[in-house]
C-alpha cells in the first residue's frame, strides 16, 4: 500500500511594511518624511498669513517680527526645548553623575529636574492668565484656511455668536481657522485668547488675539484648551486638529468631562471619518455605539452655538432644578 507524502506546509510571505503612501518603511524614508512634514507645516502656516494679507513672521527681519496690534499678556522669546528626548546611548551611574569631571557634566538647564521647573512655570503662567475664564470654547482647525473660504467665515460667525453669549474664545493663536475664531470673538465683544506653541520657525499670533500665552510644551497647552473650555468646535484640519478631538472624546468617554460638546463642523469634510468609525471601529467593537453619539456634526454656526449654550446651561443648573428635570424625563 503506497504511503501518501505529507503535504508541504504553505508559508505566507509576510508583506513588507509600507508608509501611508505605499513607500518602503525604512529609516531613510522616515527621516525624509519627518523633514518633509516639518517643511510642509511651515508652508501651511505661512500660507495662512499670506492669504490674510500679512507677511509671515518667519519671513520678517528679527526686529520686525510682531503679532500685529495685539495686546500680549505674556510675551517672551524662548527657544523651543529640543532636549525633551535624550538619545545619547551613554549609561551613567548616579555616582558618575555626581562625581564626574566638569568636562563630562551636562548643563543643568538641559536636565529633567530643571525641565520640571520650567513645566511648573508654564502651568503657573497659564493658570494665572486664564483664571478669570469661566465660560470658554476652544476652536480648532487648519492654519491654511483663507478669509475667502466658507469654513473661515463659518468659524468667524460661530465665534461671534458665542462671544455675544458671554463665552471666551480660545484658539492656537495662529492664522486660518484660529484667526477666524479670534476675529469673531472680537466682533462679538468677547475675550479672544490664543495659546501659541513654540515651533522651530516663528508661527506668530494673529492680530485678533487679545491675550496670548506662549508654550514650550504641547501637553501643557492642551491642558489649557480643556481646562478653560466648556466645549470643543473642530473645523477642518490636520493631525493637530484630530489630536484635540480625540483628546476630548477620550476624556468624556472615561468620565473626566461632563456635558462637554465636541462639534465637528463641516459634514462633507468629516464624512469619511464618521464612515470609518461606523464601518470599522464600531463594527470591530473597538468603541461602543453610544460613543458615536458623543460627536455632533453640523454645517450651521447657529446650531453649533446653540449646542454649546444648551450644554453649558444644563451643566450649571442648580441641583434642585437638575433633579426635577431628571424626574420629569423618567415619567
Specify if 138 maps to a domain.
yes
Residue 144, SS3 per DSSP? coil
| Dist CA 277 CA 253 (whole Å) | 15
| Dist CA 172 CA 169 (whole Å) | 10
| Total number of domains constituting the chain | 1
pLDDT in tens, 147-157: 999 999 999 99
| Dist CA 245 CA 225 (whole Å) | 11
- The residue among 19 and 324 whose pLDDT is bigger is 19
pLDDT in tens, 196-245: 988 776 677 899 999 999 998 999 999 999 999 999 999 999 999 999 99
- The least confident of 43-47, 88-92, 279-283 is 88-92
pLDDT at position 71:
41
* CATH code for the domain in which residue 260 is found: 3.40.50.450
Range(s) of the domain holding residue 163: 120-330
Q: How far is CA 324 from CA 260, 310, 314, 316, 319, in A?
A: 21, 17, 12, 14, 9
Specify if 199 maps to a domain.
yes
pLDDT of residue 183 exceeding 70: yes
- Only one residue has cell 512655570, namely 121
Residue 328, SS3 per DSSP? helix
- When pLDDT is averaged across residues 279-290 and rounded to a whole number, the result is 93
- Look at the alpha carbons of 84, 86, 92, 96 in this order and tell me if their dihedral is positive or negative: negative
Specify if 176 maps to a domain.
yes
pLDDT in tens, 65-110: 444 434 444 434 455 555 555 554 445 555 555 556 554 556 666 7
pLDDT at position 67:
44
pLDDT at position 104:
52
Specify if 249 maps to a domain.
yes
- The least confident of 115-119, 169-173, 306-310 is 115-119
Specify if 47 maps to a domain.
no
Cα 256–177–290 angle (5° rounding)?
35
Q: Are 292 and 277 in contact (CB under 8 A)?
A: yes
- The residue among 68 and 305 whose pLDDT is bigger is 305
pLDDT at position 241:
94
Most confident of 17-31, 222-236, 248-262: 222-236
Percent of all residues in the chain with a pLDDT value above 70, rounded to a whole number = 75
State the cell numbers at 110. 538641559
pLDDT at position 75:
39
pLDDT of residue 63 exceeding 50: no
Specify if 102 maps to a domain.
no
Amino acid at each position: 500500500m503506497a504511503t501518501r507524502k505529507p503535504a508541504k506546509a504553505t508559508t505566507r510571505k509576510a508583506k513588507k511594511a509600507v508608509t501611508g503612501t505605499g513607500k518602503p518603511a525604512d529609516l531613510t524614508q522616515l527621516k525624509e518624511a519627518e523633514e518633509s512634514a516639518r517643511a510642509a507645516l511651515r508652508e501651511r502656516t505661512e500660507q495662512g498669513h499670506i492669504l490674510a494679507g500679512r507677511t509671515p513672521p518667519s519671513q520678517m527681519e528679527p526686529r520686525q517680527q510682531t503679532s500685529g496690534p495685539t495686546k500680549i499678556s505674556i510675551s517672551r522669546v524662548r527657544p523651543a526645548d529640543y532636549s525633551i528626548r535624550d538619545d545619547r546611548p551613554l549609561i551613567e551611574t548616579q555616582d558618575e553623575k555626581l562625581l564626574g569631571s566638569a568636562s563630562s557634566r551636562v548643563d543643568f538647564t538641559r536636565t529633567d529636574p530643571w525641565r520640571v521647573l520650567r513645566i511648573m512655570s508654564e502651568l503657573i503662567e497659564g493658570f494665572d492668565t486664564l483664571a478669570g475664564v469661566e465660560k470658554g470654547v476652544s476652536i480648532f482647525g487648519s492654519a491654511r484656511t483663507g478669509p475667502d473660504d466658507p469654513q473661515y467665515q463659518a468659524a468667524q460667525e460661530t465665534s461671534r455668536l458665542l462671544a455675544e453669549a458671554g463665552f471666551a474664545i480660545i484658539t492656537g493663536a495662529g492664522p486660518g481657522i484660529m484667526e477666524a475664531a479670534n476675529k469673531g470673538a472680537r466682533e462679538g465683544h468677547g475675550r479672544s485668547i490664543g495659546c501659541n506653541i513654540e515651533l522651530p520657525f516663528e508661527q506668530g499670533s494673529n492680530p485678533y488675539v487679545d491675550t496670548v500665552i506662549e508654550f514650550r510644551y504641547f501637553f501643557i497647552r492642551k491642558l489649557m484648551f480643556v481646562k478653560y473650555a466648556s466645549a470643543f468646535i473642530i473645523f477642518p484640519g490636520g493631525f493637530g486638529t484630530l489630536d484635540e478631538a480625540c483628546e476630548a472624546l477620550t476624556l468624556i468617554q472615561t468620565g473626566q468631562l461632563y456635558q462637554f460638546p465636541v462639534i465637528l463642523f463641516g459634514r462633507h469634510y468629516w464624512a469619511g471619518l464618521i464612515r470609518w468609525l461606523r464601518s470599522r471601529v464600531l463594527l470591530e467593537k473597538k468603541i461602543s455605539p453610544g460613543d458615536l453619539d458623543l460627536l455632533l456634526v453640523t454645517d450651521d454656526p447657529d446650531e453649533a452655538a446653540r449646542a454649546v449654550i444648551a450644554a453649558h446651561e444644563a451643566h450649571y443648573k442648580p441641583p434642585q432644578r437638575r433633579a426635577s428635570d431628571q424626574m420629569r424625563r423618567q415619567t
